[in-house]
Chain A
């Protein structure tokens, strides 16, 4: 039996870990606190987490100044559609690779895996030109369709589907189920934790995506939240820090609350996938 460290050592280790842990929360607390202060207070040099006077009006001001409601809706629609359709297609492909037999299986699998290693810097120029040709540029379609399949998603769903017992599928086949029915009625429920993990990662990645939207979106109408936040950070729209932090709060708080609620699934999703797209 390994001995525990001495009392002072344990205390020191706890102090170190919790200092670090607090430092992870502090910037967001400071963001929240600033978003409720008056501009004069933020410039006064007084350091306090609690505002002197609570300025809730910073929030409507932020929404108005930067059209956050529109960008919110855009981001939500894009992330939701990408997640629902993307996970479905990756799962179908993963299921096909894991459980169905067909000619060219190995070649197609290698092809899918190969795309995982290709950096977006090399492809984005022609991605933009192809999207322009298809009419996907500068609108939400261009932020969704190219992300409805990923080498990683297919590979990951293949791993997940492989773990589904073959006997279950055989039983289904006996009952005369089609391959899609087998997928929908047997594989989907059996592979649910893996599917949920991929869904969470897909949603977060889509919600937070920045480089491609920056390339693909030009007009204000189709902007996503991260683009608006970057504009805010560089001082576009408003100069007041409380209003800007109110905007940052509006972007980050839903994800933080979602994380706190679905923490278990979240952490599992990350450990299962390594947070890769």
Chain B
């Protein structure tokens, strides 16, 4: 054998790697560099050193955007993962009736675009004819806030909808992990008289650890970059209470403050790296 297949290998790789270089690698490098410049996209870019980052520290709108983003990450990712695990553990049990129909239903929001989800939930939560306020009123709650506009309610709504949407993916991945464990992984513990809650906490949960790590990392990364759901649920009524970092990047881009937009993007990049680093090293240490 050992026929050199270099020529065809390069032929197969030329286009895909070319696309990655031209549309991802080069723009990323230039984007990182741009954070050190002041540029409106038309005239000449002027070198500004770390001025963009210093300006960020002084910017009164940056603090809230950073805080909103971190609140979103912390409040949305862990609950999604935990609820997904509990749902999967219940559905995986032998006595659970209708596993496949329950799984189908839980998975529905995962395939729908986030923009459409935000749009549909805007109507669910609408002050005038929304289903949620109507149901709450039937239950006797009066004096309801406007869930999409009042105080911190918009952020709460966005977080709850994000959790609601993420559960399906978490549950399906946990279900796959659980069925890979095979039958009887928990029986020894059960024979030793452990309760079901103890088995779940001390046997099942550690065994699906890799899935948890995966969901937490990818969840944190996409939550740090959250954009679509905020845009869809607040377009037209947006305010500082729901401005997240990525939205801020986009607004600055629209204002042609490209260097400044890049500086915020670099910060998102660094946060992303920080979010995945401890999990990565922790995983390596355990392995």
User: When the two chains form their complex, are residues B262 and A122 in contact, meaning their CB atoms are under 8 A apart?
Assistant: yes
Q: Are B13 and A96 in contact (CB under 8 A)?
A: yes
Chain A's nearest CB lies how many Å from the CB of B10? Answer: 7
What 1/0 flags go to A39-65 for Cβ under 8 Å of B? 000110101000000000000000000
- With known contacts A27-B120, A123-B27, A17–B95 Cβ distance under 8 A: no
Known: A4-B95, A16-B90, A173-B1. A118 touches B28 (CB 8 A): yes
* C-alpha spacing A111/B95, complex, angstroms: 48
* Distance A267 CA – B174 CA, assembled complex (angstroms): 12
Nearest B-chain residue to A46, judged by Cβ = B134
A145 to B235, CA, bound (A): 29
B15 partner, pick from A34, A148, A208, beta carbons under 8 A: A148
Q: Is there a chain A Cβ closer than 8 Å to B46's Cβ?
A: no
| B119 in the interface (beta carbon within 8 A) | yes
* Cα separation A89 to B16 with both chains bound (whole Å): 6
**Is residue B54 within 8 Å, beta carbon to beta carbon, of the partner chain?**
no
Evaluate contact between B12 and A211: CB separation under 8 angstroms.
Answer: no
Smallest beta-carbon distance B242→chain A, Å? 14
Check: B131 CB closer than 8 A to any chain A CB: yes
A267 and B113 in contact, given A2-B196, A115-B25 (Cβ under 8 angstroms) = no
Binds B, one of A66-74, A189-197, A228-236: A228-236
Asked if A121 contacts B269 (CB within 8 A), the reply is: yes
Interface-located stretch among B56-64, B70-78, B151-159, B165-173? B165-173
Check if B17 sits within 8 Å of A251, measured CB to CB.
Answer: no
Task: Establish whether residues A180 and B30, one from each chain, have CB atoms under 8 Å apart when the complex forms.
Answer: no
A42–B129 CB distance below 8 A: yes
The residue among B20, B134, B232, B236 with the most chain A CB atoms within 10 A of its own CB is: B20
The distance in angstroms between the C-alpha atoms of A127 and B122, with both chains bound, is 32
Decide yes or no: A146 and B115 within 8 Å by CB, A30-B131, A100-B8, A126-B30 being known contacts.
Answer: no
The answer to whether A95 touches B16 (Cβ under 8 A) is: no
Which bucket holds chain B's interface residue count? Answer: 35 or more
CA distance A125 to B23 in the complex (A): 11
- Of A17, A105, A180, A251, the most chain B CB neighbours within 10 A belong to A17
CB-contact partner of A103 in B6, B167, B196, under 8 A: B6
Listed residue (B17, B124, B186) with the most chain A CB atoms within 10 angstroms of its CB: B17
- Asked if B240 CB lies within 8 Å of chain A CBs, one says no
Give the nearest-CB partner of B25 in chain A: A115
Q: Given A121-B249, A267-B172, are A14 and B96 neighbors across the interface (CB < 8 Å)?
A: yes
Considering only residues 101-117 of chain B, those with a C-beta below 8 Å from chain A are: 101-117
Report yes or no: A233 in contact with B110, Cβ–Cβ below 8 A: no
What residues of A have a CB within 8 angstroms of the CB of B90 in the complex?
13-14, 16-17
B51 to chain A: which residues have CB within 8 Å? none
The answer for the CA separation of A150 and B93 in the assembled complex, in Å, is 37
Cβ 8 A contact of B87, one of A20, A28, A229: A20
Determine if B265 is an interface residue (Cβ-Cβ < 8 Å): yes
Does chain B have a CB within 8 A of A238?
no
- Of all chain B residues, which has the CB nearest A183? B12
| Assembly CA distance A176 to B138 (angstroms) | 75
Q: Does B15 lie within 8 Å of A149, measured CB to CB?
A: yes
17 A-B contact pairs sorted by A residue (CB < 8 Å): A4-B94, A13-B96, A31-B120, A101-B5, A102-B6, A122-B28, A122-B265, A123-B31, A125-B253, A126-B27, A126-B28, A178-B8, A204-B111, A252-B116, A256-B111, A259-B108, A266-B107
Known interface pairs A30-B124, A148-B16, A270-B172; 15 further A-B residue pairs with C-beta atoms within 8 A, sorted by A's residue number: A1-B187, A3-B190, A24-B107, A28-B120, A96-B12, A118-B269, A121-B246, A123-B23, A145-B23, A183-B12, A208-B113, A233-B118, A248-B123, A274-B173, A274-B218
